[in-house]
Structure 1
Amino acid sequence: MSKRERGLCFIKSCSWTSWLLYCCVFINLANGYSVKNCTIRGSLKYAVNINVFCNKRSLHFVPGNIPDKATHLDVSDNVIQKIKKEYFSQLSNLKSLIAQHNKIREVEEGAFSSLVNLQELNLACNKLTDILGGMFQNLGNLTVLRLNENLITNINFSAFSPLISLRKVNLSRNHLNKISKVQPLFLLPQLQEVHIGINGFTSFQTSEVSNISLRLKVLDLFQNPLKVFSITADIFPLLDNLVLAFITENMIWDVQDKRYLQSVQHLNLSGLQLPLEKITDLLQTFNSSLASLRLHSLGDVKVRALIRNVCLISSLKFLGLQWNNITSISKDEMQFCTQLTELDLSNNRLYSVPAIVSSLPGLRLLDLTFNQIKNISCVDFSNLTQLRTLQIFRNDISLIENFAFKDLKNLVTLIIRSNRLLLNGYFKKDLHKLESLDLANNKLDSVHSGDFESLKSLRNLSLSDNQILFIEPGSFNGLTNLIFLNLQSNKLSQSSIKDSVFSRLPNLKSLLLNNNYISYDSQEALVQPPFRYLKKLKILNIFSQGHKGMCYLPSNLFKGLWSLEELQAENLNINSLHPDTFTYTPYLWVLDLSRNDFISLTTKEFLPLQVLKTLHLSKVGLQSLDFLINANLSKLHLLHASKNALSVINETLIQSLPTLIYLDLQANYLSCDCTNAWFVNWTISSNDTEVESGYELTCNYPDKLKGHKLLDLDVGSCNVDVGFFCFISTTTLVSLTLLGSFLFHFLKWQVIYAYYLLLAFLHDNKQQRKLNGLQYDAFISYNVHDELWVMRELVPQLEGEQGWKLCLHHRDFEPGKPIMDNIVDGIYNSRKTICVISRHYLESEWCSREIQVASFRLFDEKKDVLILVFLENIPCHQLSPYYRMKRLIQKKTYISWPKPGEDTRVFWQKLRIALETKGTSEMEHPISWDLGVI
């Protein structure tokens, strides 16, 4: 069988099937991506910061498919043992690399050399023992280095020299027992912060550190067995923070001149195991500069003895006395601490507010949390007119006496959560400047009118985790500045949240009502919607955890919430939405309906949400997302649809969400067949939408592939394949297709083709033609509507001016011979085929068959035999699928007829060059002109 006969057979039998499959498979993909073993935050096309999270994946190596635009990479909490140079060779944009909590023992020399923009490197909690000379090559922009909690015993002297921008380094919890091993660190020009605690250092002396002044501001020597601390020169003129906590040896303190540490303002001596007199001598070094002193975990006896001397430091503003088991402090012990502005007495055993507190009029912050205080008396906070923050949570307070807060005229923040309080008129007077009040986790059972009437400046109020059953209308009257109200985890019911409760909160922006007992019996409109006066509310939480939920959402429940931007409504036990549910929230940005059991969701419910950006529909029993197609969610960025029963994600859905950058489909019932071929290609190949854990998506159908990875599906069998079609066309596909609905349409041609193929086989009269035996230079394929142009323009120019011999229908076809046979003979007897393409051409059945025959000859001979001349601009979707097939095989020659008034000489010159081109392989001699729309 000759090439032209095999071409005839292929074209006719496969034409309809190939058209259908090409339309289904070879389409313009929307944008989407997924990275194996990692999660990406940020669009590869638009975002400035691309964050890649590969943590907690049990990885033995750094994944090789990380986008080269990544700026943050987290590979922590894996089992990586070695950092190789090729891991980061393409990640020159990386600014932050987190590799903590692995098993890294070795880092190849130059492994980070490509990370020229890296600013933070975290290798903490690994098994490194040596820091080699070439480990930090090219890291000239690194500012933060974390090597804490390794097994480092040796550091090459030149290892840190490339780190000219380093400002902070943490080498705590290693095995560096001599300061000389880290001495090169101190010489770095920009270094400001050094943490070298728990290393086994026995001495810290000027001679071991530097002989020049350093820029160091923070020095942390936490829990080293220092026997000597000696500063004999002014090497720390800028030192601001010194940590000497939990030093367990009887250390010799040798600072020969107080001026050497005169800039230190923050000193931590917590847990210091020195005799009392040595600590006293040590403190005298800082008498002129110290502003903050921490004396945690020293014990009640020692700290009491120290307080008197500490209070003599006139510059001291903050004193921390945590974890000392203090039960009380007398006025005599702290009588000289009047300069203090911040006092931390948390985590002790105080049974009442120490009397000394009222003698410290300059206090601006007082922390009494985690004690055993039972009552607040009317004198406990007297004279504290400058106090701005009072923290007394996690005590056992059940009573606050009248006028206990009368002197707190400037108090801004009061945190009194986790006690045993009932509202008893505590806030009907005083506290006129209070802005934040936290009463969460107490014993409140109701809220009455006037309970907060004095708090005119209040902006944040938390009443969560109480037992509130009832809120009297008008309870929040006067709180015109309130912007945040937390009522979650109480026992509020539908009757407790009437509109009158919130009617006097004109500026409220956040309202948390989740985990209460609010429910409705139907979707019928409410006579008095509860939120109708909250015109400025932006965030509303009504989700449920462990309760029966709301059961129904009344159609006008959200009436009045014109400014609402975020609605959390998950786990409400609702199974449907009224079409008017969101008509009152047109500016909603975030909607969470997860963990409900919807019978159905329709387009109507979502039509009002024209600016929605984030939609959570996880675990709601969805079998399809097609209801979103016509919902006009053109601004949706994030779609969470995990833990549903979705099986197919189609192209139409994705294209209806043009701004989608994140898609979560985990734990669905996805089909591993050709129905998801498009989705597989889209997930892997494009760059704008992250498919969460795309490589972890599993198949649920068919049964033989259940549990397999979706992206491992071989979609090649779903694509058009020439060999596959030839095989099928000669066996079962022809018979099955022709016996279908198109039997009559194809039968007559098949008989004609079969006749000529049989004749060729019996008589062997169809031979391959050699180049020098061809009869024509070009076969002209055109539609009758374009005949005038062919006869007036093309033929005179090519035959008259250029001397080519052309094959034309009306002139050169053999009379009486079947048309199709004439076409095949004309094409195979010509060196080239010129297709004059117009819209009429594409609509013509015979023209279509001519270009199909020419395309098959091109495919079979792999020679440049086809020239396309476009008489007009034609959109891509109107072109023949066989022209697309040609484009897929290799680039071809395309020429456009100039627009009216333009010069035609260039066109004729290009056509002449195309005709002169010999029958060389297209890959060897490509000629291409851009058509603009093609």
Structure 2
Amino acid sequence: MDMGRNGLFSRISFCFVFTFMINTCAGFVLKDCRISRGAAICSASKLTAVPRDIPATVKSFDLAVNKISKIRADDFTNYTLLLQLDMKRNIISQIGKGAFANLRSLQKLNLNNNRLPHLEEDVFHGLSNLTELRITSNYIKTVDSNAFKPLRNLNILDLSFNRLQHLRTVHYVIQHLPNLQFLFVKKIGLTIFRSWELTNSTLSLAYLDLSQNDIDVFSISANIFQNLTWLNIGGAPRKHKMLWKVSEEKALRRVTTLDIGGHHLAQKDATVLFQSFNFSLSTLRMNAMRGNLRELINMSCTIPTLTLLQLRRNSLRLVNSSLFQPCTTVTELDLGDNLIFNISNDSFVVFLGLKSLTLSQNRLSFVPPAVRNLTRLQELDLSSNNISSLGCQDFAELGKLQVLGLYQNKIRTIKQCVFKDLTNLRVLKLQANQITKLNSAFKRYLSNLRQLKLDKNRLTTIEQGEFEGLRSLQNLSMMNNQISQLKIGCFLGLTNLTDILLQSNEIQATDITAAVFSDLVNLRRLFLLDNRIKFKNHSVLPSAPFSRLSRLEALVMAGQHSRGRCQFPVNFLQGLTNLLIFDARNTQLFPLHQDTFTYTPRLQTLDISSNELTDISPRLFDPIQNLRSLYISRTSLQSLDFLKDTNLTNLEFLQARRNQYSVITKEQMSSLPGLVYLDLQGNSFLCDCDNTWFLQWMNKTETQVFDAYNFVCNYPLHLKGMKLLDLDVGSCSIDIEFILYTSTSCAILLFQLVAFTYHFLRWHLAYAYHLFLAFLNERKYQDKQPECLYDAFVSYNAHDEGWVFRELVPKLEEQQGWKLCLHHRDFEPGKPVIENVTEAIYASRKTICVISRKYLESEWCSREIQLASFRLFDEHKDVLILVFLEDLDVWELSPYYRMRKLLKKWTFLSWPKAAPCPDLFWEKLRQALKTGDEAGGELLLLTVEERDA
């Protein structure tokens, strides 16, 4: 396919180019640039300085077409891996010292179209691996003698369109460049070229371009161009003559290509010039020459090695045999861009071996019969003439012709016999004519044709079998016609066709049927953009149009201009099992059926931009899990929520420009784990806490978010126009790290506190717990004030039960007559124990606590003494009698703070100390039971030993 035809691929650049530009390097948010295939692209971004946010891993850096005025010393410090640097079309006038010092891997540097006035010493320090340097169109007048010294590996140097003027300045440039092979010094103000000014240089030049310099004298007196093969000293036409002096016979012995276009040579100088190349020259360009062209042709054609002669822009009008009489060795003749309107029949008889003839851009009104004599001709270019018709004998005897150019003429009709003799033709160019019908011109002949171009004609209908004879055709282009009807079988016989271009016609839905494309079994690419293809509903088609194109890889249907909305039938893509690219942008789609891509499991690139979809079903993507590039710009989508339920794990590129996405969520982006490039340019973002996650994600993700620095807020109104990345979300987010720090610190402190408490205060806490329970029950009964049914409630532990029934009960009830309340005898069955205990305490005048170590360890005994102590302290009544069955140390009472306090203020009875005199013990106990309840009464000495207050 001809990649240069009329901007064809500019319409589908995203679908094809960007699919292959996705790279796997880490992504990020860049302010003015984007990253693609390891290249930083910052061109046309209005930059005034080299940006500092480009990753150091890039291999190419494009800074062209900006407003950078100075290269600072530290601009490229970190780019040790950079291979190419393009800074053309800026306003650079100064380069900081050592600015390129760290670019040790750089191979190509472009500084064209800037404002550098001078190249200072060591300006290129560090560029030891540079192979190509271009500094055209600056203001350079002077060059330091050591400026190019570091460039030991330089192979290509272009200093054209500067103000160097003197060859001595060029000498300073090239003296340190042993590997230089291509030197361009076009239009630098040279007027004299003298080889002795370069004699101190060791030159390995193979290509020297001195064109567009007004050289008056060209003098070579030393053999300094031992390897030169290409020399251009041509340029714009001039009136004065150039003096040619070559005294060294072997100086130009290896030159094979010479361009002297625009020069005015005297006959003697021309003779010297052509004698200098007598044994090597094969290509000679004498475009826009001044003086006697016939003489120059005669002299040049005496060179026995000459094979290509170019004579463009020489205002030739007539061509006859005498013009080229000596040119028997020429095999390629270019007479394009002249004024030729007549060529005599014997003009080319001398060219016995001519293989290429260019007659384009002349004034021919018919195919000159002279070409029929060129039986060895392989390429004939008759484009851009005034040819209006083709005859059956126009190309007779041209059986070896392979390329025929007839584009941009005025051809209206083609007869069936026109191409009958072109049995070896490979390429036929008929675009930009006025052809309305093909008239079966391709039904029988041109069996070896590979490429046929019929663009920009006036074709309206393609009849059945119109291309039947083109069995080898691979590329067919018929774009920009008026085709409104494709007859069934119109592509009959094109079984080897791989590409067909039908864009910009009037093709309708009824014209694309399975029968129309049935013979294109090897078709790879089908272009139907800019037609009138429209379907009204999703109804299943009885015959899917592409059902037999199983090898099709790219289907482009963008830009359908029929009125009304379009809906693809549910089986529209049936049969396209190998489809990789589907472009349906701007086709007025509304909506897409969820089963549309059931038949295209290998789809990798989908473009449905510029359609009124408003909503997309997640099920649409279920059959195309291999999708890598998705274009959904200008589709009026409100959000990307549909992505949450898709499984597009392989998606690398997402372009969703100019929609109405106000919030981007974590769930949406989490569904695209392989995303490398995200383009959300031109959306209306909400600037509040809802976009907090998106802002944080953009700064941390490996996905490159294109143009993120230019995202603006549209809501709320008071923030409209503010940059999204300038939004302060500090109050929106929770600092997880601070929370973790605080939580960890608190946990450690709590652990230490628990350990300390357990070790030092566990008994105090146990006592407080029981005290609280007792308090709750005491509050429950303190207002009831039941009648005293007993003289004393006896609180004891089961282990001390023997002493209570053997000693206490007989003495107090049987001998002294007191009425006691005992657990096993007087508690009400079925009632909660705590309630029985509380009622017993408040129904007794006194409480006798029989205390031992087992008593202190008992939970219920603890509650009983706590309840009694509440009554003692809170009611200020003398109701508590303590009887110790064992001698206890103070530390054993430490958990029971209130009991210790009680022992300091009140007396108590000790059974072990009463052993010498038990009767006194029972008497003291009787007196204690007999005393009243007033707290302020006399304290009785119940034991031998009394505690201090």
Pair 282,370 (structure 1): closer, same or farther in 2 beyond 3 Å = farther
Equivalences for 1:616-655 in 2 at 5 Å?
616-655=631-670
Partner of 2:97 in structure 1? 109
Structure 1 residue 713 corresponds to structure 2 residue 727:
yes
Does 235-244 or 356-365 show the bigger shift?
356-365
564, 568, 582: which one pairs with 1:567?
582
**Partner of 2:543 in structure 1?**
528
Letter of the 2:59 partner, please give it. T
Structure 2 match to 1:176: 164
For 1:543, give the aligned amino acid: A
Deviation string, structure 1 residues 277-336 (Cα, Å, up to 9, x no partner): 75565344334333333333348x955664455555443143333333333343555443
Match of 2:209 among 220, 233, 236: 220
Q: Is 1:691 matched up with 2:705?
A: yes
- Counterpart secondary structure, 2:731: helix
Query: Are the counterparts in 2 of residues 199 and 224 from structure 1 also a CA contact under 8 Å?
Result: yes
Change (3 A) 1:466 1:60: same
Cα distance 1:600–1:776, how it changes in 2: closer, same or farther (>3 A)? closer
In the alignment, structure 1 residue 701 sits paired with structure 2 residue 715: yes
How much has 1:111 moved relative to structure 2?
A: 0.9
For structure 2, the 5+ residue unaligned runs are: 1-24, 309-331, 743-747, 773-949
Distance apart, 1:598 and its partner CA = 0.9
Q: Secondary structure in 2 aligned to 1:716?
A: coil
TM-score by length of 1: 0.72
1:436 matched to 2:451? The reply is yes
Kept in 2, the 8 Å contact 1:303–1:324? The answer is no
Of 438, 441, 462, the match for 1:447 = 462
Cα 1:775/1:357, change in 2 over 3 Å: closer
Distance across 1 between alignment mates of 2:667 and 2:501: 42
- Asked whether 1:88 is paired with 2:76, we answer yes
1:206 maps onto 2:220 in alignment: no
Q: Which has the larger Rg?
A: 2
Count of aligned positions? 713
**Alignment-derived partner of residue 387 in structure 2:** 373
Aligned to 2:935: none
Post-superposition offset of 1:700: 1.1
Mapped partners of 1:383, 1:306: distance in 2: 31
Tell me the distance in 1 between the aligned counterparts of 2:337 and 2:271: 20
Change (3 A) 1:172 1:31: closer
Name which of 481, 485, 489 aligns with 2:504. Answer: 489
CA distance in 1 between partners of 2:560 and 2:262 (Å): 43
**8 Å contact from structure 2 (residues 245, 272) kept in 1:** no
User: Displacement of 1:501 after TM fit?
Assistant: 0.7
Residues 218 and 245 of structure 2 are in contact (CA less than 8 Å); yes or no, is this contact kept in structure 1?
A: yes
**Contact conserved, 1:497 with 1:530, CA < 8 A, in 2?**
yes
In structure 2, the partner of 1:471 is 486
2:251 to 235, 252, 260: 260
Which of 327, 336, 358 is 2:341 aligned to? Answer: 327
Give the aligned residue type for 1:815. Answer: A
Q: Distance in 2 between matches of 1:302 and 1:406?
A: 41
Q: CA 1:310–1:235 in 2, change beyond 3 Å: closer, same or farther? A: same
Question: Alignment partner for residue 41 of structure 1, among 36, 44, 56?
Answer: 36
Please tell me the residue identity of whatever aligns with 1:170: D
Alpha carbons of structure 1 residues 407 and 327: separation in structure 2 relative to 1, 3 Å: same
Q: After superposition, what is the alpha-carbon deviation per residue over 1:334-373, rounded to whole angstroms, capped at 9, x for unaligned?
A: 4433333333332333333334433333333332322222
For the residues of structure 2 that align with 1:354 and 1:813, how far apart are their CA atoms?
123
Match of 1:126 in 2: 114
Aligned equivalents of 1:243 and 1:444: distance in 2?
45
Q: How far does residue 61 in structure 1 lie from its aligned partner after superposition?
A: 0.7
* Identity, % of aligned positions: 38
Aligned pairs (5 A) from 1:862-881: none
Change (3 A) 1:388 1:185: farther
Name the CA distance, whole Å, in 2 between partners of 1:427 and 1:211: 64
- Taking the aligned partners of 1:120 and 1:253, their CA distance within structure 2 comes to 36
Q: SS state of the match for residue 765, structure 2?
A: coil
User: 2:261 aligned with 1:270, yes or no?
Assistant: yes
Q: Is the 8 A contact 1:779 1:808 kept in 2?
A: no
Preserved contact between residue 392 and residue 416 of structure 1 (Cα < 8 Å): yes
1:126: Cα distance to partner?
Answer: 0.6
Amino acid at match of 2:696: N
In structure 2, give the amino acid aligned to 1:36: K
Q: How far is 1:212 from its partner? A: 6.0
| C-alpha distance in 2 between matches for 1:123 and 1:809 | 81
- The verdict on how the C-alpha distance between 1:64 and 1:359 changes in structure 2, with shifts beyond 3 A counting, is same
Task: Indicate yes or no: 2:127 matched with 1:139.
Answer: yes
Residue 167 of structure 1 is matched in structure 2 by 155
Q: Is the 8 A contact 2:107 2:129 kept in 1?
A: yes
Match of 1:548 in 2: 563
Is 1:815 aligned to residue 766 of structure 2? yes
How far off is 1:514 after superposition? 1.0
Contact 1:32 1:685 in 2 (8 A): no
Q: CA deviation at 1:142?
A: 0.7
- Corresponding position: 1:68 with 2:59: no
Deviations 1:106-128 (A, max 9, x none): 11121111111111111100111
Residue matched to 1:158: 146
Tell whether 2:220 aligns with 1:231. Answer: yes
The corresponding residue for 2:403 is: 389
SS of corresponding position for 1:376: coil
Deviations 1:804-853 (A, max 9, x none): x894699477236589x9xxxxxxxxxxxxxxxxxxxxxxxxxxxxxxxx
Instruction: Give the secondary-structure state (helix, strand or coil) at the position aligned to 1:246.
Output: coil
* Higher RCO (Cα < 8 Å, 6 or more apart): 1
Counterpart Cα distance in 1 of 2:59 and 2:674 = 22
For the 8 Å contact 1:570–1:592, the answer to whether it is kept is yes
The amino acid that maps onto 1:700 is: N
Gapped regions of structure 1 (runs ≥ 5): 1-29, 43-49, 730-773, 782-804, 822-934
How far apart in 2 are the matches of 1:143 and 1:289? Answer: 28
Cα deviation, residue 149, structure 1: 0.5
- Say yes or no: does 1:614 pair with 2:629: yes
Match runs of 1:264-413 below 5 Å? 264-274=255-265, 278-279=269-270, 282-298=273-289, 303=293, 306-315=296-305, 316-317=307-308, 318-330=332-344, 332-413=346-427
Q: 1:342 to 1:236 in 2, by over 3 A?
A: farther
SS in 2 for 1:88: coil
Instruction: Write the letter of the residue equivalent to 2:183.
Output: V
Paired amino acid for 2:527: L
SS of corresponding position for 2:244: strand
Distance of 2:152 and 2:243 partners within structure 1: 34
Cα distance in 2 between the residues matched to 1:470 and 1:639: 37
Separation (CA, whole Å) in 2 of partners of 1:395 and 1:57: 42
Are 2:174 and 2:201, in contact at CA under 8 Å, matched by a contact in 1?
Answer: no
Cα distance in 1 for partners of 2:736, 2:651 equals 40
1:623: how far off?
0.8
TM-score, normalised on structure 2? 0.71
> Does the Cα contact within 8 Å between 1:32 and 1:684 map onto a contact in 2?
no
Q: Tell me, in whole angstroms, the C-alpha distance in 1 between the residues paired with 2:247 and 2:123.
A: 38
| Distance in 2 separating the partners of 1:575 and 1:493 | 18
Q: Shift of residue 402 of structure 1?
A: 4.4
Distance change (3 Å), C-alpha of 1:649 and 1:525 = same
Structure 2 Cα separation of the partners of residues 551 and 182 of structure 1: 65
- On the 8 A contact 2:122/2:150 being kept in 1, the answer is no
**1:501 matches 2:490:** no
Report the residue type matching 1:702 in the other structure. Answer: P
Post-superposition shift, 1:434? 1.0
Change (3 A) 1:402 1:302: farther
- By how many angstroms is 1:406 displaced? 3.0
Q: Give the direction of change, closer, same or farther, for the CA distance of 1:259–1:375 in structure 2 (3 Å limit).
A: farther
Q: Which amino acid aligns with 1:540?
A: L
In structure 2, the CA distance between the partners of 1:544 and 1:723, relative to structure 1 (3 Å rule), is: closer
